Amino acid sequence: MLSKMFRASAMIVAFLVLGCTAWAQSIEVGAVNPATHTLTITVKGTIGPILSGSDPLGLDGKSGTVKILASESLNPIKHTATSATYTLPAGAITVTAGTNKFSTKSPSKMVINLTSTADTFTLIIAGQVHGVSVMVTDTNFLKAGSWTTAVLKHPGVFSPSPQTLTAAKTAGGPGCKIKYTVFGNNTSVLGFSGTASNSATVDPVLPEDDLDY
């Protein structure tokens, strides 16, 4: 009788120990919260030559910089086996073109395409320059294989960084270019040559303590 009671007690203790261990592990796994990263892409160089249009903003030959901030937790609004389209919030893109500078006041789009000849990312941006509404499409060609297919699920860094950007030779051909439209119907396309670089930083974790007022 005592031996049976001892075995029963041992089984109960073992069950409780295993149960507590499993519970503790589940709490530990559940508490893990992967750090969110912010991706920063910087494109800078020289705008030109004019490939089509009259260039009413006079950007040909001027320096240009585009800076993009994107959370790596973003999900695409649509995607295929080789492309993904992301919506970036207002203020995520800053553009400097010659003496013209603006940051987005409305959501923008970033389209990433992975092809056998190049990995491209295209920015579709709406802004205002000197009170005039401008729609900009900025297309950048990186080396093929710069991104893995993981970028089709969430934004991520490309490699190597920086990379040299080569200007397109025709408005519809391969290479980097900037298309902009002013007054709703005056469209110009210019080449763009320079560099593209990127990095990712961990977002700070804010304290959850209650604040007394």
Q: Which residues is 35 bridged to in the sheet?
A: none
Helix, strand, coil tally for the chain in percent (to 5): 15, 45, 35
Threshold 0.85, pTM exceeds:
no
The two three-digit tokens of residue 155, written as one number:
């934004």
Per-residue pLDDT band at 204 (split at 50, 70, 90): low
Residue 90, sorted as left (phi over 0), alpha (psi -120 to 50) or beta, turns out to be beta
Q: Which two tokens mark 147?
A: 């991104």
Tens digits of residue pLDDT in 49-108: 999 999 999 999 999 999 999 999 999 999 999 999 999 999 999 999 998 899 999 999
Give the DSSP H or E segment for 9.
helix 2-31
Q: Is residue 31 predicted with pLDDT exceeding 80?
A: no
